[in-house]
Amino acid sequence: MRKLKNSELERLSVEDFKLVEKTPLIIILDNIRSLNNIGSVFRTSDAFLVEKIYLSGITAKPPHKDIHKTALGSTETVTWEYVEDTLYLVEKLKAEGVKVIAIEQAENATMLNDFKPQHQTTYALVFGNEVKGVSQKVVSASDFVIEIPQYGTKHSLNISVSAGIVIWDVFAKLKQ
């Protein structure tokens, strides 16, 4: 078995990426402190054709060298917007018919492996601060909560890891 060269991967050009049909997923990064986490979420969002990323609260915005270091140019492909107030954004998206899902550990959360996304529905996935998670106000305003099952001793995952797991899972289920 031989590793493929980048030139053999047949990836989209930036222009083609802008034109291709997107996965009906919106990502909301709520008060994310780490610029590397932000860049990583951009890169994952590029990989799975995410419709848009909203950066809110203290979440830094491109261009920034530490975001660029992990985003590797995906801030130029994935559509993004900064919104100061996450709760306002959640209410606005819900009014537009978007289903808002907080990714958090909460009472009555749906385990990710049990989540069955509906086709013809756009979902906004809210990922919260590295220490405090998604704020309770945003959790309460969300349509529902998804929890990533974990079986070890630790009670949380890095936000960029969580985003990668959930974005891939929802993408894969929508493509079935």
Within a domain: residue 115?
yes
Number of domains in the chain: 1
| 73 within domain boundaries | yes
Task: Find the CATH number of the domain harbouring 135.
Answer: 3.40.1280.10
> What average pLDDT does the segment 55-61 reach?
97
Q: What is the pTM of this model?
A: 0.97
Instruction: Tell me what the pLDDT averaged over the chain comes to.
Output: 97
Residue 2 lies in a domain: no
Q: Is pLDDT of 170 > 90?
A: yes
Q: What is the largest CA-CA distance in the chain?
A: 51
Query: What is d(CA 66, CA 127) in angstroms, rounded to the nearest whole number?
Result: 19
pLDDT tier at 176 (50, 70, 90 boundaries)? confident
Domain assignment present for 21: yes
164 located within any domain: yes
- Considering the domain boundaries, does residue 32 fall inside one? yes
The answer to the question of residue 10 being in a domain is no
Q: Containing domain of residue 90, as a range?
A: 17-148+157-175
**Contact between residue 57 and residue 86 where contact means Cβ atoms under 8 Å apart:** yes
Model confidence over 76-106: pLDDT tens digits?
Answer: 999 999 999 999 999 999 999 999 999 999 9
Residue 12 forms part of a structural domain: no
